[in-house]
Structure 1
Amino acid sequence: MSSSAAPPKPIHVTEVGLRDGLQNEPVVLTTEQKLSLARALVDAGVREFEVTSFVSPRAVPALADAADMVAALRDTPGLHLSALVPNVRGAERALEAGVDSVVLFVSASERHNAKNVNRSVAESLEGFAQVARLLEGSGVALRGAIATAFGCPFEGNVPVAAVDTIARRFADLGATHLSLGDTTGMATPPLVTERVTRLREAVPGLPLTLHFHNTRGIGLANVMQGLALGVDRYESSIGGLGGCPFAPGASGNIASEDLAYLLLEMGHDTGLDLEGLIKASRLASKLMGRPLPAQVSKAGPRLALSACDSVPTAQG
Protein backbone atom coordinates (compact mmCIF):
# COMPACT_ATOMS: atom_id res chain seq x y z
CA MET A 1 0.00 0.00 0.00
CA SER A 2 1.56 3.29 -1.08
CA SER A 3 1.17 6.57 0.73
CA SER A 4 1.68 10.01 -0.72
CA ALA A 5 3.88 12.57 0.99
CA ALA A 6 2.26 15.55 2.67
CA PRO A 7 2.10 18.57 0.36
CA PRO A 8 4.69 21.29 0.95
CA LYS A 9 3.36 23.89 3.37
CA PRO A 10 3.25 27.67 2.95
CA ILE A 11 6.52 29.44 3.65
CA HIS A 12 6.66 32.97 5.05
CA VAL A 13 9.39 35.22 3.66
CA THR A 14 10.26 38.56 5.24
CA GLU A 15 12.05 41.04 2.99
CA VAL A 16 14.93 42.71 4.82
CA GLY A 17 16.58 44.41 1.86
CA LEU A 18 15.35 47.88 2.79
CA ARG A 19 17.04 47.57 6.19
CA ASP A 20 19.74 44.92 6.34
CA GLY A 21 20.34 45.21 2.62
CA LEU A 22 20.98 48.95 2.53
CA GLN A 23 22.64 49.64 5.87
CA ASN A 24 26.08 48.48 4.76
CA GLU A 25 26.10 49.78 1.19
CA PRO A 26 28.41 52.64 0.13
CA VAL A 27 25.59 54.17 -1.93
CA VAL A 28 23.00 55.91 0.23
CA LEU A 29 19.63 55.94 -1.50
CA THR A 30 17.12 58.74 -1.18
CA THR A 31 13.81 58.01 0.47
CA GLU A 32 12.04 58.15 -2.89
CA GLN A 33 14.52 55.66 -4.39
CA LYS A 34 13.90 53.29 -1.48
CA LEU A 35 10.17 53.67 -1.92
CA SER A 36 10.42 52.85 -5.61
CA LEU A 37 12.15 49.61 -4.65
CA ALA A 38 9.58 48.94 -1.93
CA ARG A 39 6.72 49.40 -4.40
CA ALA A 40 8.37 47.01 -6.86
CA LEU A 41 8.61 44.44 -4.06
CA VAL A 42 4.96 44.94 -3.13
CA ASP A 43 4.06 44.40 -6.80
CA ALA A 44 6.00 41.12 -6.59
CA GLY A 45 3.82 39.92 -3.72
CA VAL A 46 5.98 40.88 -0.74
CA ARG A 47 3.76 41.57 2.24
CA GLU A 48 6.14 41.41 5.18
CA PHE A 49 9.00 43.90 5.43
CA GLU A 50 11.68 44.65 7.96
CA VAL A 51 11.53 48.12 6.56
CA THR A 52 14.12 50.09 8.53
CA SER A 53 15.91 50.50 11.85
CA PHE A 54 15.40 53.22 14.43
CA VAL A 55 19.07 53.46 15.30
CA SER A 56 21.23 56.55 15.61
CA PRO A 57 21.62 58.22 12.19
CA ARG A 58 25.26 58.77 13.13
CA ALA A 59 25.77 55.02 13.45
CA VAL A 60 23.88 54.05 10.27
CA PRO A 61 23.35 57.13 8.05
CA ALA A 62 21.64 55.07 5.34
CA LEU A 63 18.63 54.58 7.64
CA ALA A 64 18.24 58.17 8.83
CA ASP A 65 14.83 58.38 7.09
CA ALA A 66 13.26 55.58 9.18
CA ALA A 67 10.12 57.49 10.17
CA ASP A 68 9.55 58.74 6.61
CA MET A 69 9.77 55.20 5.22
CA VAL A 70 7.19 53.86 7.66
CA ALA A 71 4.89 56.83 7.09
CA ALA A 72 4.98 56.32 3.33
CA LEU A 73 4.19 52.58 3.49
CA ARG A 74 1.99 52.09 6.53
CA ASP A 75 -1.29 52.70 4.69
CA THR A 76 -0.54 50.18 1.93
CA PRO A 77 -3.14 47.42 2.37
CA GLY A 78 -1.96 44.04 3.61
CA LEU A 79 1.58 44.96 4.64
CA HIS A 80 3.26 44.09 7.93
CA LEU A 81 6.02 46.59 8.72
CA SER A 82 8.60 45.73 11.34
CA ALA A 83 11.58 47.83 12.38
CA LEU A 84 14.75 47.04 14.26
CA VAL A 85 15.24 49.01 17.50
CA PRO A 86 18.32 48.97 19.75
CA ASN A 87 16.78 50.47 22.90
CA VAL A 88 13.72 52.13 24.42
CA ARG A 89 14.31 55.41 22.60
CA GLY A 90 14.35 53.60 19.28
CA ALA A 91 11.15 51.80 20.27
CA GLU A 92 9.48 55.11 21.12
CA ARG A 93 10.35 56.45 17.67
CA ALA A 94 9.10 53.26 16.02
CA LEU A 95 5.78 53.49 17.88
CA GLU A 96 5.38 57.13 16.87
CA ALA A 97 6.00 56.18 13.24
CA GLY A 98 3.31 53.49 13.26
CA VAL A 99 5.09 50.15 12.83
CA ASP A 100 3.30 46.83 13.25
CA SER A 101 6.11 45.21 15.22
CA VAL A 102 9.47 46.11 16.68
CA VAL A 103 12.47 43.81 16.52
CA LEU A 104 14.81 43.77 19.50
CA PHE A 105 18.23 42.45 18.63
CA VAL A 106 21.17 41.21 20.63
CA SER A 107 24.25 39.24 19.71
CA ALA A 108 24.92 35.84 21.20
CA SER A 109 28.60 36.82 21.56
CA GLU A 110 29.85 39.57 23.86
CA ARG A 111 32.41 41.07 21.50
CA HIS A 112 30.02 41.43 18.59
CA ASN A 113 27.34 42.93 20.82
CA ALA A 114 29.86 45.47 22.07
CA LYS A 115 30.74 46.41 18.50
CA ASN A 116 27.14 46.44 17.37
CA VAL A 117 25.43 48.39 20.16
CA ASN A 118 28.26 49.26 22.59
CA ARG A 119 26.68 47.19 25.37
CA SER A 120 27.22 43.87 27.04
CA VAL A 121 24.69 41.13 26.33
CA ALA A 122 23.34 41.47 29.88
CA GLU A 123 22.91 45.23 29.45
CA SER A 124 21.01 44.72 26.20
CA LEU A 125 18.68 42.16 27.76
CA GLU A 126 18.08 44.40 30.76
CA GLY A 127 17.07 47.26 28.46
CA PHE A 128 14.62 45.04 26.57
CA ALA A 129 12.37 44.89 29.64
CA GLN A 130 11.77 48.63 29.28
CA VAL A 131 10.76 48.15 25.66
CA ALA A 132 8.41 45.31 26.55
CA ARG A 133 6.70 47.55 29.12
CA LEU A 134 6.43 50.35 26.57
CA LEU A 135 4.70 48.04 24.09
CA GLU A 136 2.09 46.78 26.57
CA GLY A 137 -1.37 47.67 25.31
CA SER A 138 -0.03 49.35 22.16
CA GLY A 139 -1.06 46.63 19.71
CA VAL A 140 2.52 46.56 18.42
CA ALA A 141 4.17 43.14 18.57
CA LEU A 142 7.62 42.41 19.97
CA ARG A 143 9.93 40.20 17.94
CA GLY A 144 13.36 39.00 18.97
CA ALA A 145 16.49 38.59 16.87
CA ILE A 146 19.74 36.94 17.89
CA ALA A 147 22.78 37.98 15.87
CA THR A 148 25.87 35.74 15.60
CA ALA A 149 23.59 32.83 16.47
CA PHE A 150 25.78 30.42 14.47
CA GLY A 151 29.23 31.87 15.11
CA CYS A 152 31.09 35.12 15.80
CA PRO A 153 33.87 36.69 13.69
CA PHE A 154 35.66 37.76 16.90
CA GLU A 155 35.04 34.78 19.20
CA GLY A 156 34.57 31.85 16.82
CA ASN A 157 32.09 29.19 17.88
CA VAL A 158 29.12 30.44 19.87
CA PRO A 159 27.81 27.91 22.41
CA VAL A 160 24.24 26.85 21.79
CA ALA A 161 23.63 27.48 25.49
CA ALA A 162 24.24 31.20 24.92
CA VAL A 163 21.57 31.25 22.20
CA ASP A 164 19.25 29.22 24.43
CA THR A 165 19.58 31.71 27.32
CA ILE A 166 18.69 34.69 25.11
CA ALA A 167 15.80 32.84 23.51
CA ARG A 168 14.30 32.10 26.94
CA ARG A 169 14.60 35.78 27.85
CA PHE A 170 12.74 36.81 24.69
CA ALA A 171 10.02 34.29 25.49
CA ASP A 172 9.70 35.75 29.00
CA LEU A 173 9.30 39.22 27.49
CA GLY A 174 6.39 38.07 25.34
CA ALA A 175 8.09 37.94 21.95
CA THR A 176 5.86 36.59 19.19
CA HIS A 177 8.72 35.44 16.91
CA LEU A 178 12.43 34.74 17.20
CA SER A 179 14.93 35.16 14.37
CA LEU A 180 18.33 33.43 14.36
CA GLY A 181 20.81 35.58 12.47
CA ASP A 182 23.76 34.14 10.57
CA THR A 183 25.59 37.45 10.78
CA THR A 184 28.77 36.50 8.93
CA GLY A 185 27.74 33.38 7.05
CA MET A 186 29.08 30.92 9.62
CA ALA A 187 26.01 28.66 9.68
CA THR A 188 26.24 25.10 8.41
CA PRO A 189 23.50 22.44 8.14
CA PRO A 190 24.66 20.62 11.30
CA LEU A 191 24.61 23.89 13.25
CA VAL A 192 21.14 24.65 11.92
CA THR A 193 19.94 21.27 13.17
CA GLU A 194 21.57 21.75 16.56
CA ARG A 195 20.15 25.23 17.18
CA VAL A 196 16.66 24.62 15.87
CA THR A 197 16.35 21.38 17.85
CA ARG A 198 17.63 22.97 21.06
CA LEU A 199 15.40 26.04 20.82
CA ARG A 200 12.29 24.02 20.08
CA GLU A 201 12.91 22.30 23.39
CA ALA A 202 13.76 25.52 25.24
CA VAL A 203 11.02 27.80 23.86
CA PRO A 204 8.48 25.47 22.24
CA GLY A 205 5.82 28.13 21.78
CA LEU A 206 8.05 30.66 20.04
CA PRO A 207 8.06 30.41 16.20
CA LEU A 208 11.56 30.45 14.71
CA THR A 209 12.72 32.47 11.71
CA LEU A 210 16.04 31.73 9.99
CA HIS A 211 18.15 34.54 8.55
CA PHE A 212 21.08 33.25 6.51
CA HIS A 213 23.92 34.95 4.70
CA ASN A 214 25.54 33.45 1.63
CA THR A 215 29.01 34.68 2.56
CA ARG A 216 30.51 31.21 2.16
CA GLY A 217 28.17 29.98 -0.53
CA ILE A 218 25.87 27.66 1.45
CA GLY A 219 23.02 29.97 2.41
CA LEU A 220 20.43 28.00 0.44
CA ALA A 221 21.86 24.70 1.69
CA ASN A 222 21.07 25.96 5.18
CA VAL A 223 17.56 26.85 4.02
CA MET A 224 17.14 23.29 2.78
CA GLN A 225 18.14 22.02 6.21
CA GLY A 226 15.69 24.40 7.84
CA LEU A 227 12.92 23.16 5.57
CA ALA A 228 13.77 19.55 6.44
CA LEU A 229 13.35 20.50 10.09
CA GLY A 230 9.96 22.06 9.38
CA VAL A 231 10.96 25.72 9.78
CA ASP A 232 8.54 27.80 7.74
CA ARG A 233 9.82 31.37 8.22
CA TYR A 234 12.87 32.91 6.48
CA GLU A 235 14.36 36.34 5.91
CA SER A 236 16.06 37.41 2.69
CA SER A 237 17.25 40.52 0.87
CA ILE A 238 16.44 41.47 -2.70
CA GLY A 239 19.42 40.91 -4.97
CA GLY A 240 21.48 39.60 -2.05
CA LEU A 241 22.10 43.12 -0.79
CA GLY A 242 23.65 43.76 2.55
CA GLY A 243 25.44 42.57 5.59
CA CYS A 244 26.37 43.84 9.04
CA PRO A 245 28.52 47.00 9.17
CA PHE A 246 29.93 45.92 12.54
CA ALA A 247 31.29 42.54 11.44
CA PRO A 248 34.15 42.01 8.96
CA GLY A 249 33.33 39.96 5.88
CA ALA A 250 29.58 39.98 6.56
CA SER A 251 28.43 40.59 3.02
CA GLY A 252 25.90 38.38 1.35
CA ASN A 253 22.34 38.00 2.63
CA ILE A 254 20.61 35.22 0.73
CA ALA A 255 18.82 36.79 -2.21
CA SER A 256 15.03 36.97 -2.14
CA GLU A 257 14.68 35.87 -5.74
CA ASP A 258 17.06 32.93 -5.24
CA LEU A 259 15.12 31.84 -2.15
CA ALA A 260 11.78 32.26 -3.93
CA TYR A 261 13.03 30.22 -6.90
CA LEU A 262 14.14 27.37 -4.63
CA LEU A 263 10.84 27.35 -2.76
CA LEU A 264 8.81 27.57 -5.98
CA GLU A 265 10.65 24.64 -7.54
CA MET A 266 10.03 22.63 -4.37
CA GLY A 267 6.31 23.31 -4.61
CA HIS A 268 6.02 25.65 -1.63
CA ASP A 269 3.52 28.50 -1.59
CA THR A 270 5.13 31.85 -0.77
CA GLY A 271 2.72 34.29 -2.40
CA LEU A 272 5.71 35.74 -4.23
CA ASP A 273 5.93 36.34 -7.96
CA LEU A 274 9.37 35.32 -9.22
CA GLU A 275 9.30 37.51 -12.33
CA GLY A 276 8.31 40.46 -10.14
CA LEU A 277 11.21 39.79 -7.77
CA ILE A 278 13.62 39.62 -10.70
CA LYS A 279 12.30 42.99 -11.88
CA ALA A 280 12.75 44.43 -8.38
CA SER A 281 16.27 43.01 -8.15
CA ARG A 282 17.24 44.62 -11.43
CA LEU A 283 15.90 47.91 -10.15
CA ALA A 284 17.99 47.48 -6.99
CA SER A 285 21.07 46.82 -9.11
CA LYS A 286 20.40 49.97 -11.11
CA LEU A 287 19.93 52.05 -7.97
CA MET A 288 23.15 50.72 -6.42
CA GLY A 289 25.07 51.21 -9.66
CA ARG A 290 26.58 47.72 -9.70
CA PRO A 291 25.69 44.07 -10.32
CA LEU A 292 24.26 42.32 -7.27
CA PRO A 293 25.25 38.79 -6.17
CA ALA A 294 21.87 37.10 -6.75
CA GLN A 295 21.88 34.39 -9.41
CA VAL A 296 18.27 34.02 -10.55
CA SER A 297 17.98 37.66 -11.60
CA LYS A 298 20.90 37.04 -13.98
CA ALA A 299 19.84 33.67 -15.41
CA GLY A 300 16.06 33.98 -15.14
CA PRO A 301 13.68 31.17 -14.14
CA ARG A 302 14.55 27.57 -15.04
CA LEU A 303 12.25 27.53 -18.08
CA ALA A 304 13.20 30.97 -19.38
CA LEU A 305 14.01 30.03 -22.99
CA SER A 306 16.19 31.75 -25.56
CA ALA A 307 15.76 31.84 -29.30
CA CYS A 308 17.91 29.14 -30.87
CA ASP A 309 19.29 31.54 -33.48
CA SER A 310 20.42 33.96 -30.79
CA VAL A 311 23.63 31.95 -30.24
CA PRO A 312 26.20 30.84 -32.80
CA THR A 313 26.27 27.24 -34.06
CA ALA A 314 29.45 25.25 -33.63
CA GLN A 315 31.44 24.74 -36.79
CA GLY A 316 32.99 21.49 -37.92
Structure 2
Amino acid sequence: MLVVGRFINGICVGICSAQVPVYVAELALAHKGGLVVGAPQWAITWAILITFYISYGCSFLEGTASFRAPWALQTIPVIFFFFGIFWMPESPRWLAKQDRWDKCQKILMLIHADNNPDDDLVRMELQRLREACDMDRIQSNVSFTELVKPPMLWRFHIGVFVQIWSQLTCINVIMYYITFVFGMAGLSGNNNLVASSINYVINVFVTIPALLYLDKVGRRPILLMGSISLTVWWFLCAGLMGGYGSSAPPGGLNHIAEESWSITGTPAKVVIACSYLVVASFAPSWGPVSWVYSPELFRLRL
Protein backbone atom coordinates (compact mmCIF):
# COMPACT_ATOMS: atom_id res chain seq x y z
CA MET A 1 0.00 0.00 0.00
CA LEU A 2 2.82 2.40 0.84
CA VAL A 3 4.64 1.68 -2.42
CA VAL A 4 1.47 2.31 -4.46
CA GLY A 5 0.71 5.45 -2.46
CA ARG A 6 4.23 6.72 -2.98
CA PHE A 7 3.92 6.06 -6.72
CA ILE A 8 0.65 8.02 -6.98
CA ASN A 9 2.06 10.80 -4.82
CA GLY A 10 5.15 10.97 -7.03
CA ILE A 11 3.04 11.49 -10.15
CA CYS A 12 1.04 14.25 -8.44
CA VAL A 13 4.12 16.03 -7.13
CA GLY A 14 5.65 15.73 -10.60
CA ILE A 15 2.65 17.48 -12.14
CA CYS A 16 2.83 20.27 -9.55
CA SER A 17 6.60 20.63 -9.94
CA ALA A 18 6.20 21.01 -13.69
CA GLN A 19 3.28 23.45 -13.56
CA VAL A 20 3.87 25.70 -10.56
CA PRO A 21 7.10 27.46 -11.71
CA VAL A 22 5.63 28.16 -15.16
CA TYR A 23 2.30 29.31 -13.76
CA VAL A 24 3.83 31.58 -11.12
CA ALA A 25 6.36 32.98 -13.61
CA GLU A 26 3.51 33.92 -15.95
CA LEU A 27 1.65 35.68 -13.15
CA ALA A 28 4.70 37.61 -11.93
CA LEU A 29 5.91 40.92 -13.26
CA ALA A 30 9.34 40.71 -14.88
CA HIS A 31 11.11 42.85 -12.25
CA LYS A 32 9.75 40.63 -9.44
CA GLY A 33 10.30 37.26 -11.10
CA GLY A 34 12.97 36.06 -8.69
CA LEU A 35 10.99 37.00 -5.61
CA VAL A 36 7.65 35.58 -6.77
CA VAL A 37 8.88 32.38 -8.46
CA GLY A 38 11.33 31.73 -5.61
CA ALA A 39 8.55 32.01 -3.01
CA PRO A 40 7.27 28.43 -3.62
CA GLN A 41 10.73 27.14 -2.71
CA TRP A 42 10.49 29.08 0.56
CA ALA A 43 7.09 27.47 1.13
CA ILE A 44 8.71 24.06 0.60
CA THR A 45 11.33 24.81 3.26
CA TRP A 46 8.55 25.72 5.72
CA ALA A 47 6.71 22.50 4.85
CA ILE A 48 9.84 20.43 5.52
CA LEU A 49 10.37 22.17 8.88
CA ILE A 50 6.74 21.80 10.00
CA THR A 51 6.58 18.19 8.85
CA PHE A 52 9.75 17.33 10.77
CA TYR A 53 8.45 18.77 14.03
CA ILE A 54 5.06 17.09 13.58
CA SER A 55 6.82 13.78 13.01
CA TYR A 56 9.09 14.44 15.99
CA GLY A 57 6.09 15.14 18.21
CA CYS A 58 4.24 12.06 16.95
CA SER A 59 7.29 9.90 17.75
CA PHE A 60 6.25 10.14 21.42
CA LEU A 61 2.87 8.53 20.67
CA GLU A 62 2.35 4.90 21.53
CA GLY A 63 1.97 2.17 18.93
CA THR A 64 1.32 2.61 15.23
CA ALA A 65 -0.13 6.09 15.80
CA SER A 66 3.46 7.37 15.90
CA PHE A 67 3.78 6.90 12.14
CA ARG A 68 0.13 6.80 11.05
CA ALA A 69 -0.67 10.25 12.48
CA PRO A 70 1.94 12.19 10.43
CA TRP A 71 0.76 10.46 7.25
CA ALA A 72 -2.88 11.24 8.03
CA LEU A 73 -2.18 14.88 8.85
CA GLN A 74 -0.81 15.41 5.34
CA THR A 75 -4.35 15.15 3.99
CA ILE A 76 -5.38 18.42 5.69
CA PRO A 77 -3.27 20.84 3.57
CA VAL A 78 -4.01 18.71 0.48
CA ILE A 79 -7.78 19.25 0.95
CA PHE A 80 -7.27 23.03 1.23
CA PHE A 81 -4.97 22.91 -1.80
CA PHE A 82 -7.54 21.02 -3.88
CA PHE A 83 -10.43 23.40 -3.18
CA GLY A 84 -8.20 26.47 -3.39
CA ILE A 85 -7.29 25.65 -6.99
CA PHE A 86 -10.88 26.42 -8.05
CA TRP A 87 -10.30 30.09 -7.10
CA MET A 88 -6.94 30.41 -8.88
CA PRO A 89 -6.92 32.74 -11.91
CA GLU A 90 -5.80 31.52 -15.30
CA SER A 91 -2.36 32.59 -16.48
CA PRO A 92 -2.52 35.95 -18.35
CA ARG A 93 0.12 34.74 -20.79
CA TRP A 94 -1.93 31.66 -21.66
CA LEU A 95 -5.09 33.77 -22.10
CA ALA A 96 -3.17 36.17 -24.34
CA LYS A 97 -1.99 33.25 -26.45
CA GLN A 98 -5.67 32.20 -26.83
CA ASP A 99 -6.68 35.78 -27.82
CA ARG A 100 -8.88 36.12 -24.72
CA TRP A 101 -7.76 39.67 -24.09
CA ASP A 102 -10.69 40.83 -21.95
CA LYS A 103 -10.13 38.02 -19.45
CA CYS A 104 -6.37 38.60 -19.62
CA GLN A 105 -6.82 42.27 -18.76
CA LYS A 106 -9.19 41.48 -15.86
CA ILE A 107 -6.69 39.08 -14.28
CA LEU A 108 -3.81 41.54 -14.70
CA MET A 109 -5.97 44.20 -13.04
CA LEU A 110 -6.87 41.79 -10.23
CA ILE A 111 -3.35 40.67 -9.33
CA HIS A 112 -1.34 43.82 -10.12
CA ALA A 113 -3.59 46.89 -9.90
CA ASP A 114 -6.39 46.30 -7.38
CA ASN A 115 -8.90 46.11 -10.27
CA ASN A 116 -7.90 49.51 -11.64
CA PRO A 117 -8.41 49.44 -15.46
CA ASP A 118 -6.37 52.63 -15.97
CA ASP A 119 -3.23 51.40 -14.23
CA ASP A 120 -0.09 52.07 -16.29
CA LEU A 121 1.50 48.80 -15.22
CA VAL A 122 -1.46 46.81 -16.56
CA ARG A 123 -1.37 48.68 -19.87
CA MET A 124 2.36 48.09 -20.24
CA GLU A 125 2.02 44.40 -19.44
CA LEU A 126 -0.83 44.03 -21.94
CA GLN A 127 1.24 45.74 -24.62
CA ARG A 128 4.19 43.47 -23.87
CA LEU A 129 1.98 40.38 -24.19
CA ARG A 130 0.51 41.63 -27.49
CA GLU A 131 3.99 42.13 -28.94
CA ALA A 132 5.07 38.68 -27.77
CA CYS A 133 1.95 37.08 -29.28
CA ASP A 134 2.40 38.91 -32.60
CA MET A 135 5.99 37.72 -32.78
CA ASP A 136 5.04 34.13 -31.95
CA ARG A 137 2.31 34.01 -34.60
CA ILE A 138 5.00 34.22 -37.26
CA GLN A 139 5.95 30.68 -36.17
CA SER A 140 2.61 29.30 -35.06
CA ASN A 141 3.28 25.55 -35.13
CA VAL A 142 4.62 24.24 -31.82
CA SER A 143 6.07 20.77 -31.33
CA PHE A 144 8.40 19.04 -28.90
CA THR A 145 10.96 18.54 -31.67
CA GLU A 146 11.57 22.29 -31.72
CA LEU A 147 13.04 22.03 -28.24
CA VAL A 148 15.71 19.57 -29.40
CA LYS A 149 16.78 21.55 -32.46
CA PRO A 150 18.99 24.65 -32.67
CA PRO A 151 18.66 27.34 -31.46
CA MET A 152 16.33 26.07 -28.68
CA LEU A 153 18.37 22.95 -27.93
CA TRP A 154 20.86 24.85 -25.77
CA ARG A 155 18.07 26.51 -23.75
CA PHE A 156 16.30 23.17 -23.39
CA HIS A 157 19.53 21.57 -22.18
CA ILE A 158 20.08 24.31 -19.61
CA GLY A 159 16.48 24.25 -18.40
CA VAL A 160 16.60 20.50 -17.81
CA PHE A 161 20.08 20.32 -16.33
CA VAL A 162 19.65 23.22 -13.93
CA GLN A 163 16.97 21.07 -12.29
CA ILE A 164 19.08 17.91 -12.53
CA TRP A 165 22.15 19.54 -10.97
CA SER A 166 19.98 21.05 -8.26
CA GLN A 167 19.34 17.47 -7.12
CA LEU A 168 22.92 16.32 -7.80
CA THR A 169 24.19 18.87 -5.28
CA CYS A 170 23.09 15.99 -2.97
CA ILE A 171 20.94 18.27 -0.84
CA ASN A 172 18.56 15.35 -0.27
CA VAL A 173 21.33 13.41 1.46
CA ILE A 174 21.17 16.12 4.13
CA MET A 175 17.40 16.61 4.01
CA TYR A 176 16.40 12.93 4.15
CA TYR A 177 19.33 11.27 5.89
CA ILE A 178 20.67 13.91 8.27
CA THR A 179 19.78 11.75 11.29
CA PHE A 180 21.93 8.97 9.81
CA VAL A 181 24.85 11.35 9.20
CA PHE A 182 24.60 12.76 12.72
CA GLY A 183 24.27 9.23 14.09
CA MET A 184 27.60 8.40 12.45
CA ALA A 185 29.01 11.49 14.17
CA GLY A 186 27.99 10.14 17.56
CA LEU A 187 24.59 11.77 18.20
CA SER A 188 21.69 9.59 19.27
CA GLY A 189 18.12 9.76 20.53
CA ASN A 190 16.61 13.20 21.12
CA ASN A 191 20.02 14.88 20.75
CA ASN A 192 20.17 13.62 17.17
CA LEU A 193 16.60 14.68 16.36
CA VAL A 194 16.96 18.18 17.86
CA ALA A 195 20.32 18.71 16.13
CA SER A 196 18.76 17.55 12.85
CA SER A 197 15.88 20.00 13.23
CA ILE A 198 18.36 22.90 13.27
CA ASN A 199 19.12 21.92 9.70
CA TYR A 200 15.55 22.63 8.63
CA VAL A 201 15.45 25.94 10.52
CA ILE A 202 18.57 27.04 8.63
CA ASN A 203 16.91 25.98 5.38
CA VAL A 204 13.93 28.28 6.04
CA PHE A 205 15.75 31.42 7.10
CA VAL A 206 18.73 31.30 4.74
CA THR A 207 16.36 31.13 1.75
CA ILE A 208 15.13 34.66 2.54
CA PRO A 209 18.26 36.53 1.26
CA ALA A 210 17.87 34.84 -2.13
CA LEU A 211 14.29 36.10 -2.44
CA LEU A 212 15.39 39.64 -1.57
CA TYR A 213 18.48 39.85 -3.81
CA LEU A 214 17.83 37.41 -6.66
CA ASP A 215 16.41 40.09 -8.95
CA LYS A 216 19.25 42.51 -8.11
CA VAL A 217 22.28 40.21 -8.29
CA GLY A 218 21.14 37.92 -11.10
CA ARG A 219 20.76 34.17 -11.45
CA ARG A 220 24.19 33.07 -12.69
CA PRO A 221 26.39 34.69 -9.98
CA ILE A 222 24.23 33.14 -7.25
CA LEU A 223 24.47 29.69 -8.86
CA LEU A 224 28.25 30.05 -9.11
CA MET A 225 28.61 31.12 -5.47
CA GLY A 226 26.39 28.26 -4.36
CA SER A 227 28.38 25.73 -6.41
CA ILE A 228 31.71 26.85 -4.98
CA SER A 229 30.57 26.82 -1.36
CA LEU A 230 28.81 23.44 -1.74
CA THR A 231 32.00 22.00 -3.21
CA VAL A 232 34.05 23.19 -0.21
CA TRP A 233 31.72 21.78 2.45
CA TRP A 234 31.15 18.45 0.71
CA PHE A 235 34.88 17.92 0.21
CA LEU A 236 35.46 18.67 3.89
CA CYS A 237 32.77 16.17 4.90
CA ALA A 238 34.19 13.49 2.60
CA GLY A 239 37.79 14.15 3.64
CA LEU A 240 37.02 14.03 7.35
CA MET A 241 34.86 10.92 7.03
CA GLY A 242 37.55 9.19 5.01
CA GLY A 243 40.55 10.43 6.99
CA TYR A 244 39.24 10.15 10.55
CA GLY A 245 36.30 7.74 10.26
CA SER A 246 36.18 3.97 10.36
CA SER A 247 33.69 1.15 9.93
CA ALA A 248 31.12 0.93 12.70
CA PRO A 249 31.22 -2.11 14.99
CA PRO A 250 29.12 -5.17 14.11
CA GLY A 251 25.41 -4.45 14.47
CA GLY A 252 25.68 -0.84 13.37
CA LEU A 253 25.92 2.43 15.26
CA ASN A 254 23.14 4.33 17.05
CA HIS A 255 20.41 2.23 15.42
CA ILE A 256 21.48 3.30 11.92
CA ALA A 257 22.33 0.20 9.92
CA GLU A 258 24.44 -2.89 10.17
CA GLU A 259 26.94 -1.57 7.64
CA SER A 260 27.67 1.92 8.90
CA TRP A 261 30.47 4.39 9.52
CA SER A 262 31.73 6.08 12.65
CA ILE A 263 33.60 9.32 13.34
CA THR A 264 34.31 10.85 16.75
CA GLY A 265 35.89 13.86 18.47
CA THR A 266 36.57 17.19 16.80
CA PRO A 267 36.30 15.79 13.24
CA ALA A 268 32.77 14.63 14.06
CA LYS A 269 31.83 18.14 15.20
CA VAL A 270 33.25 19.60 12.00
CA VAL A 271 31.20 17.12 9.93
CA ILE A 272 28.07 18.30 11.77
CA ALA A 273 29.01 21.93 11.11
CA CYS A 274 29.71 21.20 7.43
CA SER A 275 26.29 19.54 7.13
CA TYR A 276 24.70 22.77 8.33
CA LEU A 277 26.84 24.78 5.93
CA VAL A 278 25.79 22.58 3.00
CA VAL A 279 22.18 23.59 3.67
CA ALA A 280 23.17 27.23 4.23
CA SER A 281 24.87 27.17 0.80
CA PHE A 282 22.05 25.44 -1.07
CA ALA A 283 19.13 27.36 0.43
CA PRO A 284 19.99 30.82 -1.01
CA SER A 285 21.35 29.53 -4.33
CA TRP A 286 20.41 26.30 -6.12
CA GLY A 287 17.22 25.89 -4.08
CA PRO A 288 15.22 28.89 -5.37
CA VAL A 289 17.27 29.72 -8.49
CA SER A 290 16.66 26.34 -10.13
CA TRP A 291 12.91 27.12 -10.07
CA VAL A 292 13.31 30.73 -11.22
CA TYR A 293 15.83 30.25 -14.01
CA SER A 294 14.23 27.48 -16.09
CA PRO A 295 10.85 29.17 -16.89
CA GLU A 296 12.64 32.33 -18.01
CA LEU A 297 14.51 30.57 -20.82
CA PHE A 298 11.66 29.83 -23.20
CA ARG A 299 9.45 31.83 -25.54
CA LEU A 300 5.77 32.38 -24.84
CA ARG A 301 4.54 29.88 -27.42
CA LEU A 302 6.78 27.13 -25.99
* TM-score, L = length of structure 2: 0.20
Which has the bigger relative contact order, CA under 8 A and spacing at least 6?
2
Q: Which protein shows a greater Rg?
A: 2
* Larger relative helix fraction: 2
* Larger relative strand fraction: 1
